[in-house]
Amino acid sequence: MSITLPKLFLDSSDPAETAKARALLGHLDGQTTNPSLVAKNPTIQNLIQQGKKLTEQDVYDCYKDLVQEIRSIISGPISVEVFSTWETKAETMVQSAEKMQTWCNNVYIKFPTLPEGLKAAHTFVKNGGKVNMTLVFDQVQAAAVYSATMDATYTPFVSPFIGRWDDRGFNGLDVVQNIQKMYHSFSKRKKRTKNVEVLGASIRSMEHFYSCIFLGVDIVTVPLKIVEEWIENEHWMPDERYRIHTNGLKPLPYQQIPFFEDFTKYEIPKIEGSLLDEGLNKFITEWEKLISY
């Protein structure tokens, strides 16, 4: 069993953290951002503390400036997220995505893995867009992503959220493993030019980090504190003897999900209080907190 380091992304919207992570590692493969991280950015927080009332355009301009500053530090993919609610239509998301992809080169648009987000991604990749499907919590969502991005020119990313499942007492690493197994079964049935790359997200601990490496994810995105701890651990890597600790968390069993050419056949319902609903509402709250009308 050969274990190699996946592509390593930083999960941050702060260019200062980008520079520090790159200096510590010598190289950074990419970066992921989202509304919550943008809200925490020191530049944005300083504007708020100064009493500046931010319009929606102000927030987008700040987001663009941050992304362009990050681009001046690293050359890899930078994921930026469109604002959306359960009610946002695919056409609106695509319009936002088309603007955001002009911010700099190699921008990956994060669409939420909702019915409308999947429609948006399906349209966007047909026109050469790059996508990172976010807020993924189960195999059904991941199956829909696989199908919706069949026509992608560039390799799509799918981001299962590990830590959010742990918060609910379930082993979030199972979602990663289940998606990988399902994608492997899909690839046997349907050849595609660009396979979907699994990006381990919502990494909360070194256990998450090392387990993602052990499971062979394509990409792992981590906050700066994980980078710093890994450096302190002298770049330790798991080997074939490594064992994932469940820490008393309940398992998430593998499901036999069929492959459908038509991604709309995968049902992703709006369930109040679900991890998907909770995750989307968190981003909405952070985004709207920044905007004063």
Of 105, 104, 151, 149, the closest CA to residue 131 belongs to 149
Helices 56-71/42-49 angle, 10° precision: 150
Considering 20, 40, 99, 110, which one is annotated as catalytic?
110
Residues facing 105 on adjacent strands: none
Residues facing 158 on adjacent strands: 133, 198
Is residue 110 among the annotated active site residues?
yes
What SS3 state is found at 5? Answer: coil
- The type of residue at 21 is A
Of 128, 129, 93, the closest CA to residue 114 belongs to 93
Of 91, 85, 114, 108, the closest CA to residue 286 belongs to 85
Of 32, 35, 29, 39, the closest CA to residue 8 belongs to 29
User: What Å distances lie between residue 126 and 130, 149, 156, 181, CA to CA?
Assistant: 10, 8, 12, 26
Task: Note whether 29 and 9 are within 8 A (CB).
Answer: yes
The C-alpha atoms of residue 186 and residue 189 are separated, in whole angstroms, by 5
The C-alpha atoms of residue 244 and residue 34 are separated, in whole angstroms, by 28
Q: What pairing do the DSSP bridges indicate for beta strands 131-136 and 157-160?
A: parallel
Helices 173-189/206-215 angle, 10° precision: 20
Q: What pairing do the DSSP bridges indicate for beta strands 107-112 and 197-200?
A: unpaired
Active site residues: 110
